Amino acid sequence: MTQKSQPPRVQVPVEAEARAKLQAYADARGASLAAICAEILANTAPIAQELAQALERAKEAPVRAMREVSDALDRQLADLDQHKLDLSPKDTDKKTG
């Protein structure tokens, strides 16, 4: 039997307040703090790559690159807004009384 290799570990210092918030989220999800942090990093890696590429292009065309960075951030913010809408309680779910 071959064991599945583990990805390399990364140590990241986190302020106590941020750690407490992440821990509360992990507890609510029934997951470990490490699993939540790994998930967040994995989910944000594509935008980090996109931003890194845009910053590299900025060396040659700064105005165009800043427009690309702004567009990429706008897309990510729109995605986050959609997630918030997806998670918000619907009016039909509210009890009236």
Where are the domains positioned within the chain? 19-87
59-74 pLDDT tens trace: 888 888 788 878 888 8
Tokens, residue 28: 């609510």
How buried is residue 28: exposed, middle or buried, by Cβ count under 10 Å (0-12/13-18/19+)?
A: exposed
Query: How many residues comprise the chain?
Result: 97
Q: Are 65 and 57 in contact (CB under 8 A)?
A: yes
Give the dihedral of Cα atoms 36, 38, 40, 43; nearest 10 deg: -130
Predicted model pTM: 0.57
pLDDT digits (tens, 9 = 90+) for 14-52: 999 999 999 999 999 999 999 999 999 999 999 899 888
